[in-house]
Amino acid sequence: MTQYSEDIQNAAGLIASQGSAWDAIDPESVARMKAQNRFKTGLDIAKYTAKIMREDMASYDADPSKYTQSLGCWHGFIGQQKMISIKKHFGSTKGRYLYLSGWMVAALRSEFGPLPDQSMHEKTSVPALIEELYTFLRQADARELGGLFRALDKAREEGNSVGEQDIKNQIENFQTHVVPIIADIDAGFGNAEATYLLAKKMIEAGACALQIENQVSDEKQCGHQDGKVTVPHEDFIAKIRALRYAFLELGVDDGIIVARTDSLGAGLTKQIAVTHEPGDLGDLYNSFLDCDEVTPEQLKNGDVLMKRDGKFVHPKRLPSNLFQFREGTGEDRCVLDSITSLQNGADLLWIETEKPHIGQIGGMVNRIREVIPNAKLVYNNSPSFNWTLNFRQQVYDTWVEEGKDVSAYDRDKLMSIDYDGSELSEVADEKIRTFQADAAREAGIFHHLITLPTYHTAALSTDTLSKEYFGELGMLGYVLHVQREEIRNGIACVKHQNMSGSDIGDDHKEYFAGDAALKAGGEHNTMNQFS
């Protein structure tokens, strides 16, 4: 017996047990509502998606061509439309996740208004967005299943037994729009206890994967801005443990922790690490500090003195009271950060880089894999990178190394439209096209994400509509480049009443009121123009 049939049978038995009082309750309607509400709580979602993500990680370990992808989504509707589109174009959501970016929460969802990515937004806005995303994804399930149920009723009315069975099979094998969310908890919004409390809220909302970074919580900066300050490893490890405890407390035993290091671009630290003996973790952290050899007599009031290799050294301290790392130590610190995180409970790594360069990323990953052979990355294919310029310059530099004539190109001006369509630009574009597959194979990247693409697409599409609708095209500006494109490309949202849940509401009215139901989807509904 299928799940759908079983639910009908169970509902029928329960209704019968209540006598005549429940006679108006239809068993099949109950089964349909149960199918449309598969996930009862956020924890149900977290457990379901954690299993998916673990299976995907194992698949990638066996075959690096099986990498995963996501786009950052700042509203439930955006996440919903993304997953509907993926199902429409590819027939499956496998390997496709959602990413919740702290940057976008700060810039777009804070009650303070637009904020920079510095952990100034409300903690509660992060779990609230997770819950919102999953509310919209569950509604996408209900909407699509509702369409199948109406098609099933029509097949029955027409006596189409073959069609009826086909639709039943689609119902039984329905693939949910609910997919894993990798959620950004920034630097934990405070101490380890604050991190733990926020993590619980995020997991309860449905997050199966939490990404945390090794910046100082109250000095946190966007990964692609200057002024980043890291914390000693023991401080970061305490927060990784806090995340694990939150997962275990809530019964999400296979929850995923993504440990991010910002050390490549972070030249500062707020603290000198505690060290007990040469070569321990604290000593390794301190070994990267920029120091001058001094004698005690040379110290000024308030100066800090350290012993290193039997000598006294003075760590350079800035007027901001921060200590400075030596130039050129970023990659070494990233490798140490990554190994330490994996050895202390993290599952995946995130190395924030200043450019999308496979050789640079792969070089660090290879060093990490000398210690942790199955180490793998979540990587930010960031809109903060000028992808066109970066890859054109990479091709230019490769051609120079190969002795190829580059006299037709000015390296500093490769962004120019004058180079569009040139041999160099075409080679660069092909490298951008294959970046994800190449980096998955050569640089250990399991998951490719773009942090804030829908921030940019919303701005671009609004700019285009504004320019045309308020310009010479007038109403044609909307019709030509929005509505007509929606219709011809099968964008479900063209039937916006349906997308908002009107048909689901009509179904419920029929369940609740029978023939007396006043439904919105009658012959005078203008959505019929899009049938």
Q: For residue 187, give Cα distances in angstroms to 194, 318, 386, 488.
A: 10, 23, 26, 45
Q: With CA atoms as reference, report the closest residue to 429 among 396, 464, 387, 370.
A: 387
Q: Distance of CA 90 to CAs 71, 144, 491, Å?
A: 16, 16, 14
Q: For 214, list phi and psi in degrees, rounded to 5.
A: -95, 30
* Residue 112, both tokens: 């303070």
Do the Cβ atoms of 11 and 27 come closer than 8 Å? Answer: yes
Cα dist from 293 to 297, 309, 313, 324, 497, whole Å: 12, 11, 4, 15, 72
CB 195, CB 243: distance < 8 Å:
yes
Alpha-carbon distances of 52 from 84, 93, 139, 499, rounded to whole Å: 19, 11, 21, 27
Q: CA torsion sign, 397 to 399 to 405 to 409?
A: negative
Q: Is 376 within 8 Å of 444 (Cβ atoms)? A: yes
Please tell me which residue in 222, 291, 334, 493 is annotated as part of the active site: 222
Q: Is 222 an active-site residue?
A: yes
Q: Mind giving me the DSSP string for 463-510?
A: HHHHHHHTSTTTHHHHIIIIIHHHHHTT-GGGSHHHHTTHHHHHHHHH
Encoding tokens for residue 313? Answer: 């050294």
- The length of the chain is 531
Report phi then psi at 466, rounded to 5.
-60, -45
Q: Number of C-alpha atoms within 13 angstroms, CB side, residue 175?
A: 13
State the catalytic residues: 222
